[in-house]
Structure 1
Amino acid sequence: MGILNVTPDSFSDGGTHAGVSAALDHARQMIAEGAEIIDIGGESTRPGAAEVAVAEEIARTAPVIAALRGEWDGLISIDTMKAGVAAAALEAGADIVNDVSGLTADPEMVRVCVAGGCGVVVMHMQGDPRTMQKAPRYDDVVTEVQAFFEERLAALTAAGMDAEAICFDPGIGFGKTVAHNLSLLRALPDLGIGGRPLLLGVSRKSFIGRVLGSEALADRSWPTVAITAWAREAGVMIHRVHEVLPNAQALRMTEAILHGGISDSPGESFVRTSV
């Protein structure tokens, strides 16, 4: 899953891909490098980021989704917590709703996703993007994330969502300390609920810099690749990254070791039948 932020203030690439032309250029590059899902976001979820109005978020994302859908038949995801934005994205051609609140922030989100028959990424987050990193606390972060996934799976399927449409994201960096993040990474093989796949988003995140003792974004690239390889060995099937090529290569190498063969497109058949 290649990250395409069409925002002015995202922590890593804010403003770089604003506008349809620049966004399409970057999407094409990621697709050429092996991205099978393009995840388009119009509101930054970095700690302390300002909230964006629904109309503005739609204006940023829907034209990009429609333009990309017009030239590509791969999977497109909308990264949003707002039902109105999700509905507009699905109308424009998106296939997946990636909601960092786990479909809890907007009471209309479940209805929109069920009606749209889309894939859904259910992420765990403690608090909200504006406050989540102030003082995150857990008795047992792994157990609490597992419990959240179990509750969400039961609630969403009870609301009419097909379980086959759901995958889960432990929300690395979303209301977690470095120790919490590392605990979740160690527990990846145990986080799957109901046989549903995991998505992992660690790309360029600040906990990597804290582990390394460096504030430079460039120093987080290869550690991201290392985590991608480890996560695939631990069973993660969807990897949300900024830099597609090195992470796709890591996946291809890891899968060759795991399965003794060569894959032209790591994870494609799994993604298309599971999300």
Structure 2
Amino acid sequence: MSASVYIRPLSLSHSPQSDPGEAVRIAGGLACASRFALLVREGGRITSQRVLSAQALPEAIAMLPDALALEAGAQWAALRKVHAPIGCGERLLRMDQPGVMGILNVTPDSFSDGGRFLDKPDAAIDHAAAMIAAGVGVIDVGGESTRPGAAAVWEGDEIKRVVPVIERLSAMGAAISIDSRRSSVIAAALAAGAHIVNDVSALRHDPRSMEIVAASGAPVVLMHAPGGADNLHADGHYTDVVLDVFDDLRARRDACLAAGIAREKIMIDPGIGFGKSLADNLALVNALPLLHALGQPVLFAASRKRMIGALSSEAPAHQRLGGSLLLAIRAFEAGCQMVRVHDVAETVQAMRVWRGLRDAALTDFSLVGED
């Protein structure tokens, strides 16, 4: 069985000068790391693990067998890659700092806000306008709940839910993503003015979706979910959830590249809560920096999710703001380029304070010792 290699950033720091001569920026953003784990896995088992400095890592990579050295070299380059902005019509989403994607569900049964905006276009637009005023980067419009046990939606109904809202948002000049796994919905949403495709099945659910996304040139978010068409939450069995999710996302990225989707148009999402236990979700959050080794911007979506309730006396979805903010901050610290949230104003405020602290750290030399 062939071996696989992974480079996982460790020892995250506030700025390069927090660890003089050692720390490097991750993905061209505001996250820095000074130590890295070089892992080799074979047959589902980690057979080699070394913790190395940024300076020692290239030599260690060169000593690997040829195929592993080639892959490790690509991951090392990807970890330091500076991502270009993503175009959304006349707007640009910067990838060198975190941004916020606001959730707008026009569904009857979404786990947190189902029914709030269904058949209420004015209320939906008012909510979107409030998110824009609060500083949201993208508004993610969804017409189907993907919570565990949710009933499937006929694509015609999904189109009728999302298209009128997208058309009005487009007229407002908003950056818009369509949260759908059906090709007909994706095509209708793009025609109505959506800019980004956010597919929880990573373009696996509908064979035509890949073709439509490739032809449109739209950016796409590939989310990890272990299940098939009937139940995205099924088959959540992992040898090592972090490395298995990494491998699955790499395979979906490569499938998109083979289908003609440009690499700079692909974002990835580890799929927190989709076919994953609490322990799985916690492991993925702690390992988020590893995903940058795939060389794609990372979207993180854990807002109000079940893992927060499980860690806070079963707090209901509408009482999970504190946990949602903490997870968003962890995503910022891990270098994630986008967080998808319900509570936009609070998350943007937290992000701005966090960004202020990082900016201050970049110019604070008081901790740097003299030669």
TM-score (norm 2): 0.68
Shift of 1:237: 1.1
SS, match of residue 315 in structure 2: coil
- Aligned partners of 1:81 and 1:134: how far apart in 2? 16
Partner of residue 219, structure 2: 119
Partner of residue 198, structure 2: 98
Partner of residue 50, structure 1: 151
2:301 is aligned with 1:186: no
1:169 aligned to which of 262, 269, 273: 269
SS, match of residue 39 in structure 1: strand
The 1:86/1:261 distance shift into structure 2, 3 A limit, reads farther
2:241 aligned to which of 125, 136, 141: 141
Shift of 1:130: 5.9
Partner of residue 268, structure 1: none
SS, match of residue 108 in structure 1: helix
2:103 is aligned with 1:3: yes
Partner of residue 329, structure 2: 229
Greater share of strand residues, 1 or 2? Answer: 2
SS, match of residue 197 in structure 2: strand
Unaligned runs of 5+ in 2: 1-100, 363-371
Q: Deviations over 1:62-109 (max 9, x none)?
A: 11101110122x310000000000000000000000000001110000
- Aligned partners of 2:232 and 2:189: how far apart in 1? 26
SS, match of residue 260 in structure 1: helix
Partner of residue 113, structure 2: 13
Kept after mapping to 1: 8 A contact 2:225/2:233: no
- Aligned partners of 2:187 and 2:305: how far apart in 1? 29
- Aligned partners of 2:359 and 2:294: how far apart in 1? 24
2:208 aligned to which of 108, 116, 120: 108
Partner of residue 85, structure 1: 185
SS, match of residue 167 in structure 1: strand
Shift of 1:115: 0.9
Shift of 1:128: 4.7
Q: Deviations over 1:192-248 (max 9, x none)?
A: 243211101100001110011223223311110011111101111100000101111
SS, match of residue 191 in structure 1: helix
SS, match of residue 311 in structure 2: helix
- Aligned partners of 1:133 and 1:117: how far apart in 2? 29
Kept after mapping to 2: 8 A contact 1:233/1:258: no
Kept after mapping to 1: 8 A contact 2:224/2:248: yes
Partner of residue 65, structure 1: 166
The 1:176/1:62 distance shift into structure 2, 3 A limit, reads same
TM-score (norm 1): 0.91
Kept after mapping to 1: 8 A contact 2:226/2:235: no
Within-5 A mapping of 1:233-252: 233-252=333-352
- Aligned partners of 1:199 and 1:94: how far apart in 2? 18
- Aligned partners of 1:135 and 1:211: how far apart in 2? 24
Shift of 1:132: 4.6
Q: Which aligned segments of 4 or more residues in structure 1 are displaced greater than 3 angstroms?
A: 128-135
- Aligned partners of 2:233 and 2:223: how far apart in 1? 16
1:31 aligned to which of 116, 119, 132: 132
Q: Tell me the amino acid that sits aligned with residue 41 of structure 1.
A: G
- Aligned partners of 2:147 and 2:168: how far apart in 1? 26
2:285 is aligned with 1:203: no
Greater share of helix residues, 1 or 2? Answer: 1
Partner of residue 273, structure 1: none
Unaligned runs of 5+ in 1: 263-275
Q: Tell me the amino acid that sits aligned with residue 84 of structure 1.
A: S
The 1:128/1:48 distance shift into structure 2, 3 A limit, reads farther
